[in-house]
Structure 1
Amino acid sequence: MLKLFAPFLLAAAAVVTPSAHADGYPAKPIRLVVPFPAGGPTDVFARAVSEKLGQRLGQTVIVDNKPGAGGAIGTDLAARAPADGYTLLLGTSSTHSVAPAFGMKLPYDTAKDFTPIVQVGDAPNLMLVPNDTPAKDVKEWIAYARKNPGKLNYASSGPGTVVQLTAEYLKAEAKVDLTHVAYKGTALAMPDLMSGKVHVLFDSMPTGLPHVQAGRLRALAVTSLKRSPLLPNLPAVSETLPGFESVVWFGLYGPKNLPPAVVTRVNAAVNEVLKDKDMQDRLARLGIQPAGGTPQQFATVVEQDRAKWKKIITEQKLTLE
């Protein structure tokens, strides 16, 4: 009789095991793969979140830096991990929006090989110009650029970066003619921006704002859709160009087929973490605004972001060279 029912018992076990596993999650430390180098802004952000997340989940969340190939090495590692919730990925605009929008040959499908869990935060950029720029706001700057077609340039941290795409987005929306000057990082562009050799740069708050506060540069606007609560007196570009938005988003993913119970558990924990005042203060110092929300909302944000950059890349005929 036992032998007769053995196949049915095995089948039942196969059905309940994933659920039971998810109900006891997490039972051991979780690895959070960061596909960028230690010490960089994404890494600093990940460590701030992982500490609080670990407290909420009752297990240590270990940051594991796997840099290389523009984030593809670490992202691929996370995609191939077991779908048990013990390997998560901190994805960004670079890994899941920009790279596929450029049609890069990746060893994974950013839309099919991951389970969206939650959007953690957004980091808008500042529109920075030299102090002697004859424009005090975005509207005046666009008018100035239109009067000087082909004479102005913009700096970026290299082809294919969000910094470049934001400037190209501005070019398209404002219908201005700007020349691209690529640097190996925005910090290297700062001296030329201050001297007036470069006419505009979109830079992150943590690196750009100190120059504004010290009187070395002028900030015309922020690139979030609405004014940033971190700088409430600074207008958004969208106040002149309706709908304009360019942010670097950060979000948690698991491998595809991650159990729904695990997704729900991590999502709820992150949303609670983002309500923590200390967490909000730490993110503010990094120029990051808390996000949160549902997995579906996160997936929609990424899909729309990818489509936007794909449109800009196609219309502006951008390449990675």
Structure 2
Amino acid sequence: MIGKLEMLIALAKEQHFGRAAASLGVTQPTLSTGIRHLEDQLGVKLVLRGSRYGGLTPEGQRALVWARQIVGDARRLREEMRFTREGLSGHLRIAVIPTALTAASRLASAFNAEHPNVGFTIRSTTSVEVLKMLENLDIDAGISYLDNEPLGRVSSVELYRETYSLICAEQHRLAGREAVDWADLAEESLSLLTPDMQNRRIINKSFMEAGITPVAQLESNSTVVLVSQVLHGGTVTVLPEDLALFLTAGKGLNVIPIRGQGAGHAVGLVAPHQAPQTPVLQALLDMASKLAADTAGRRRLTAAAGRRRNR
């Protein structure tokens, strides 16, 4: 039954019999037969068929909800039993928004320092895809924005608040500034993330609130491309401060804070809402909480030192 439910999940995700079969590593006839057997077992038609896949029936949509829950529970059971045999081990799949990749790396490194038998696969994608992949059981957790668009029913831990900085060449007219305003970038040639990225939507909103309609000379879903374009193409870009400092180190580029951002947008770890969590996922959530507390503590110390200097 579990295998057939996984077939239903794959078919609903791919919306194509051939692609769904390939994703599972089976032939298309095997997939079709498995779906028919599942329909026979449940006594209802799950899939609309014609010359091609026609979607799920209302019964199929309801079965899909149960399929995700049952398959997820089965995986959690396997994880629980492996924990009793081997302790914390296995492999975690995490999808991450591009601006949080350095945070994902820190989380994985800190986790591996305490639990070396757990491996990671980290991939970059949009915030929308993070949630879709969680729902389809394609990943175990994600790192995304927590407060800008609806998340649905997930468990979450805030890791940090995202604030933005300008990246420009050392010879740029703004390079000597201690800080800039969004309005200062009105006439600049911009390299920005693509519009499907939530970071781009946040930045667009900040520009528009300053009375600017941003027009990007170059768009990319890669932050590395954006920084490279600043270095070689004469543009400027806007990225979160931590990522900006990491990507520009040793490259002759300036990172300048942008004023008027408030507390910034929350970025954090998201995982399926389930009780109990698997031991590995619970340990990951605990590690995220620990790192968040350490980050907040360092920022309080930095702010206090700044206040003392200004007295």
Normalised by the length of structure 1, the TM-score is: 0.47
Q: Which has the larger radius of gyration?
A: 2
Identify the structure with bigger relative contact order (alpha carbons < 8 Å, sequence gap 6+): 1
Normalised by the length of structure 2, the TM-score is: 0.48
Which structure dedicates a bigger proportion of its chain to helix?
Answer: 2
